[in-house]
Structure 1
Amino acid sequence: MTDESIRPFRIDVSDEILDDLRRRLHATRWPEAELVDDWTQGTPLSYVQEVCGYWADDYDWRSRESALNRFDQFTTTIDGLDLHFVHQRSPHDDAMPLVLSHGWPGSIVEFHKVVEPLTDPTKFGGDPSDAFHVVAPSLPGYGFSAKPTETGWGVEKIGHAFSTLMARLGYDRYVAQGGDWGSAITNVIGAVDPEHCAAIHLTLAMGARPGDLSNPTPDEVHTLERAAYYRDWDSGYSKQQSTRPQTVGYGLVDSPAAQAAWILEKFWAWTDCDGHPENVLSRDEMLDNVMLYWINGNGASSARLYWESFSTRTKLDVTVPVGFAVFPAEIVPPIRSWVEPSYPGLCHWAEYDKGGHFAAFEVPNVFVDELRGFFRQFR
């Protein structure tokens, strides 16, 4: 008999895990410093040491844990795997169900500033008619979801699982939003569940290809430059995780300093931070996110999503209405003419002058207003 129960969940990390973390941080065997005075050889030694020193001696996980536990959380078993998810219902009964999908190196922590204004707009000066019931799952092998024990858990299977989750929660009509891998997962949801998914919203379209570039627009030039930079200087993590995720996992699971450096580099590279990630995200926020990789040793299991998805993805037809939000510091900012051929239902395109890859994390007010505005027409 398949267990389809919805089980309450509360984050409760043992003292043993926290004590072991501090011990490992204090015993870190450091490499020599980089030979440049910037981030071009990777996360600078002095910054990693500073963050890890703070992590070991000043960071208060218990208060951060309590803050994350203000959200209602659950687990349920889908396709033999236990999925962890936030399910924050709105006080407004006619709220629209919304599933938010994160990516790598993100987690449900990305959404900690948007869940409350999305679910309870009146508390934040908004209109009750814009309320959502928010569902934010942890991807398989990420956060507090279980780690797959067999191959096959790529973005397509995750998209199917998330649509199953929405049905299990009793939502026969819902909308979906995602960034990074979450964009690909949300794309799958829109393709495989059009009977129930009313519309999708995306911030990334890495698979989009340019058309005629004989006279590129300024936006196309910017995106081409970003794509070239990503290919030449910023995609090494992706090649490693898509080809040999097990190999990189040993260091990430054994060394908290390695796991922190691996993720901090992307907060520097992919946020609109003017050269330093703490210009946009607090140190505690970034460490909250790193903790969701460290606690359950997810360095290898999270990386395997690249191995699963890069080699097996198939083109899916998305006919539901689609909206895009474009942020200037996105890895490769989407171009409307490039994505239109893949989305006949494209009906919304918004461009912003601030923000990057982690929109809900970086510019939460903009993110909330964007989702309220786009999804309003589907209520």
Structure 2
Amino acid sequence: MDQDPIGHGAGIAIERRGFAMNGGAVQEWSLPVDAAALQDMRRRLNDRRKPKVARPGWTEGIEADYLDRLCDHLAGPYCWSEDIERFGEQHLMVRARSTGHRLHVTLPVGKVEGAKPLVLLHGWPSCSFEFVHVARHLVAQGMYPVLIDLPGFGFSDAPAEPMGPRSMAACIAEVIGEGLGFRNAIVHGNDWGSTVACWLAIDFPRMVTAIHLSMMGMRPRFDGSARPPGDSEQQWIKVVQKRLAADAGYREIQATRPNTASAALADSPAGLAAWIAEKFHGWTTEQAVENPLVGMDDLAAIITAYWLTGSIASANWVYTAGRRRDDTGAPPGGTGSTPVGFSFFGGGFFPPPPRSWAERLHHVQDFRIHASGGHYPALTNPRALAEDLVAFCEQLD
């Protein structure tokens, strides 16, 4: 869908938290506490079969001892029904008109006078819980964070077919424009959420005031008129290509054999934990570091959300959709005149790019690089990310 949905926002029925909402599209909702599913997860974890052989360390995947500790934590002291209290007190299901998909949205409780909505979009293998710490910092600064599970992720509805980031952007645009009634949203994206944010800026510029990214969600297309990459850009491209060659097996599996991977991940919480936790470690710190930077309770929450919803299959589909239609190549003009801010954190899957690379696609207003934090800064360095977001929003006023 290439049309801005703002014009279809008539029929606003209810007013909450300072923003107009379409009552027909919005339902109050609560995070589920499925005792039977949680008990089944704990039983499977306690009865798990461990690999007969495993290489020590993290260089060949999940570290066996760490996985044992994580599984024992999930099966023992971790309590989902108590932990969900920290994930916001106002949860909604908001329906997209054109597709019928319901997306899970978390809003802060209480009206924040004069605050613009700041939409936070996660990536894979994550969910909106990724931003719980950042949201707390933002609310303390008088901002209004809006956390959304991407279509097929977390507690949002799964699509009937693999959905790429541009289609996700159209779905989210309807949710925030028609359902929530937002007219001037700022959008932050990480991982796949950064690509979705770019498409929101491209396809819905009247709705999106600005975007802020912690990863390059798009790449430039080089044609006869494009300036060739400079030395620093060429060096960065080589590093990225080397990393992809060494650590892109999961992408190929999920793009080409999603059913096979999903059958195993949906049936084994230990396998699910391994598949997810290995990425949160490998993309945030050096492989030689014993313990991941992401807290075990944060990981446990994300893994439990995937287990309760069975959404790992539909989340993995984003790679299948990318194989069918690559939405990461930027159209001519990139994101146009929309102001764009960047916060990059060292130790991630990709190193921070040169500013010149970002300026090929974006109207860069703010560009910041932090020494550490990796690919999931909202979990590993939330204060720094929140401060960057506040500073960027203040520049726009």
State the TM-score, normalized to the length of structure 1.
Answer: 0.89
Partner of 1:235: 248
Aligned-pair Cα RMSD in Å? 2.2
SS of residue paired to 1:31: coil
In the other structure, the counterpart of 1:340 is: 359
**What's the CA shift for 1:311?**
2.6
**Residues 281 and 293, structure 2, Cα contact 8 Å, conserved in 1:** no
Letter in 2 for 1:378: L
Equivalent of 2:174 in 150, 156, 164: 164
Is this contact kept in 2: 1:268–1:275, CA < 8 A? no
SS in 2 for 1:265: helix
Contact 1:107/1:142 (<8 A) preserved: yes
Q: How far is the alpha carbon of 1:114 from its aligned partner?
A: 1.3
The match for 1:80 among 93, 97, 100 is 100
Match of 1:184 in 2: 195
Counterpart for residue 173 of structure 1: 184
Which of 285, 292, 300 is the aligned partner of 2:313?
Answer: 300
Name the counterpart of 1:368.
386
SS in 2 for 1:114: helix
Shift of 1:63: 1.6
- Give the structure 2 partner of residue 107 of structure 1: 127
Label 1:373 to 1:220 Cα distance change in 2 as closer, same or farther (>3 A): farther
Structure 2 counterpart of 1:145: 156
For residue 194 of structure 1, report the CA deviation from its aligned partner: 0.9
Within the alignment, does 1:325 sit opposite 2:335 as a pair?
no
In structure 1, how many angstroms separate the alpha carbons of the residues matched to 2:321 and 2:201? Answer: 20
The secondary structure found in structure 2 opposite 1:329 is coil
Aligned to 1:128: none
Alpha-carbon deviation of 1:213?
Answer: 6.1
Q: Distance in 2 between matches of 1:152 and 1:48?
A: 30
Q: Deviations over 1:184-213 (max 9, x none)?
A: 000011111111211111111154369756
Unaligned runs of 5+ in 1: 122-130
Cα deviation, residue 234, structure 1: 1.2
How far residue 110 of structure 1 moved from its aligned partner, in angstroms, is 0.9
* Residue identity in the other structure for 2:354: I
* Compared CA separation, residues 133 and 15, structure 1 to 2 (3 A): same
Whether 1:39 aligns to 2:52 is no
1:233–1:58 Cα change, 3 Å: same
| Structure 2 SS opposite 1:18 | helix
Structure 1 pair 206/335, CA: closer, same or farther in 2 (3 Å)? Answer: farther
Instruction: Sort the Cα spacing of 1:16 and 1:115 in 2 relative to 1 into closer, same or farther, 3 A.
Output: same
Contact 1:103 1:182 in 2 (8 A): yes
Q: Distance in 1 between matches of 2:110 and 2:360?
A: 36
1:225, distance to aligned residue in structure 2 (A): 5.8
CA distance in 2, matches of 1:358, 1:132: 21
* 1:249 matched residue in structure 2: 262
The residue aligned with 2:18 is none
CA distance in 1, matches of 2:138, 2:241: 36
The 8 Å contact of residues 88 and 134 in structure 1, kept in 2 or not, is answered as yes
1:220-299 aligned at under 5 Å gives the runs 221=235, 223-224=236-237, 226-272=239-285, 275-276=288-289, 278-299=291-312
Partner amino acid for 2:335? Answer: V
Q: State the shift of 1:224 in Å.
A: 4.3
Query: Taking structure 1 as reference, are residues 52 and 226 closer, same or farther at Cα in structure 2, changes over 3 Å only?
Result: farther
After TM superposition, give the deviation of residue 103 of structure 1 in Å: 0.5
Match of 2:46 in 1: 26
In structure 2, the residue matched to 1:6 is 26
Structure 1 residue 220: Cα displacement: 6.3
Over the matched positions of the two proteins, sequence identity in percent amounts to: 28
Aligned AA for 1:25?
A: L
Q: Distance in 2 between matches of 1:133 and 1:225?
A: 39
Runs of 4+ in structure 1 deviating by more than 6 angstroms, as ranges, are none
On the 8 A contact 1:97/1:132 being kept in 2, the answer is yes
Which ranges of structure 2 fall in alignment gaps of 5 or more residues? 1-21
Contact 1:204 1:334 in 2 (8 A): no
Task: Tell me, in whole angstroms, the C-alpha distance in 1 between the residues paired with 2:49 and 2:168.
Answer: 37
Counterpart-to-counterpart distance in 2, 1:213 and 1:5: 46
Deviations 1:41-73 (CA, angstroms, capped at 9, x unpaired): 1112222122112211222222212222x3311
For residues 300-322 of structure 1, the C-alpha deviation after alignment (integer angstroms, 9 at most, x for no partner) is: 11101111134313434411111
Say if 1:32 and 1:45, in contact at 8 Å, map to a contact too.
no
Distance in 1, matches of 2:217 and 2:210, equals 20
Match of 2:83 among 50, 60, 64: 64
Residues 311 and 3 (structure 1), Cα distance of their counterparts in 2 relative to 1, 3 Å cut: farther
Distance 1:213 1:42, change over 3 A: same
Contact 2:149 2:156 in 1 (8 A): yes
Specify the SS of the correspondent of 2:103: strand
Contact kept in structure 1, 2:122 and 2:192, CA below 8 Å? yes
Give the structure 2 partner of residue 126 of structure 1: none
Distance 1:329 1:114 in 2: 19
